[in-house]
Structure 1
């Protein structure tokens, strides 16, 4: 593992739809002397940015080639269909792929959903980007299926969206080069996973402290030594025995009867 002093700053790439502000805020609170730089990238560019050293870590959309990248899945998004507000889909709470059988379903080149078969009817051409596809939906050309965060990102007043029940889902993960798991990467993993500031994960364990001998509790009696009473007090003299009796000859209580 490389020491944190090797990286004076932390570069975090993120794909469209991911909002890293919460984690950035926690980073700035915990490591105010280590600036964090945000790098927006497309979903297709994110793995290459990590491999080329353009970012220390990145929020990506799975699946990605994990040959030389580590990845921690974080959450799964709801898939929605984006439609004009006057579309019949806008009148229901959710739809299925079968409900889109008569619609032209746009399939942009930057789509991140892992389709076996796209529902609906295909468009003549594939839009270059999701943003381009949104413009076509607004123009009444077709509908678009995307992760919910992308529908929010490209929100328009004339469009709406509804959950699509039987579509593939998009998983968001934190990824980094597996050979570059630096101390700062470990710090950011801890933040994303919700570890507290006192967590020892990723830090060297503290040396074990030698055990100290427990002191006697409550004035516990020590083992008597020869010639000394256990309590440390002088033996009772003969207040109940004869005067001038020999040492230790004080009156003793009556012996107990044996049962």
Structure 2
């Protein structure tokens, strides 16, 4: 019969092996979940500093209030309380270009610039060139609909990266874009936390194709929290009724 090689989980009648280690003896009670998630994705065990920074990203993205992802999870749970997986999935499916997807978009954007300028002499000059080249196109990670004067997650992520000696090229370019963009756009926009998370994850060497996955991993914890709060203090029915009881019938649009 065909065999299928994997460095991830494998079982025998007596043992479970994960990442080349004995799951019960060497992982459970020893390896934290954030560290394990990093290890699973890269198949290398992160250093303590990498684990700290990675887990800071997960914390930064876990929950951000009554966002559409949180609301849809609560409403789905209201509609199908027998399907927790459906409520979680509904929220995760809303992770796109406006919410959560910025993490991946920013990481990819920065990486594309760096791939053509691997060792720039001047990060600010490269950032200015990059912003000008974008023209009127949106730069992922710039601006926030609530934190107009600065996203509090951003300086903290930079601080942790600095403390752990993990400020890489993606964070350096992103910081430089934060300094350079007002010269081109004529206004100052904050570097948002989701974009900073993308720069951090890219600097940590995590696969660019999976950056949104890590944002979804973090948000899963937040959505579980939303559903737990919905059980204790339900608001989904009020949200539903506020729309349902305030509809107004109009003629079909001809446009």
TM-score tier, shorter chain, comes to under 0.3
TM-score when normalising by structure 2: 0.22
More helix by share: 2
Considering only CA atoms, is the larger Rg found in Structure 1 or Structure 2?
A: 1
TM-score when normalising by structure 1: 0.21
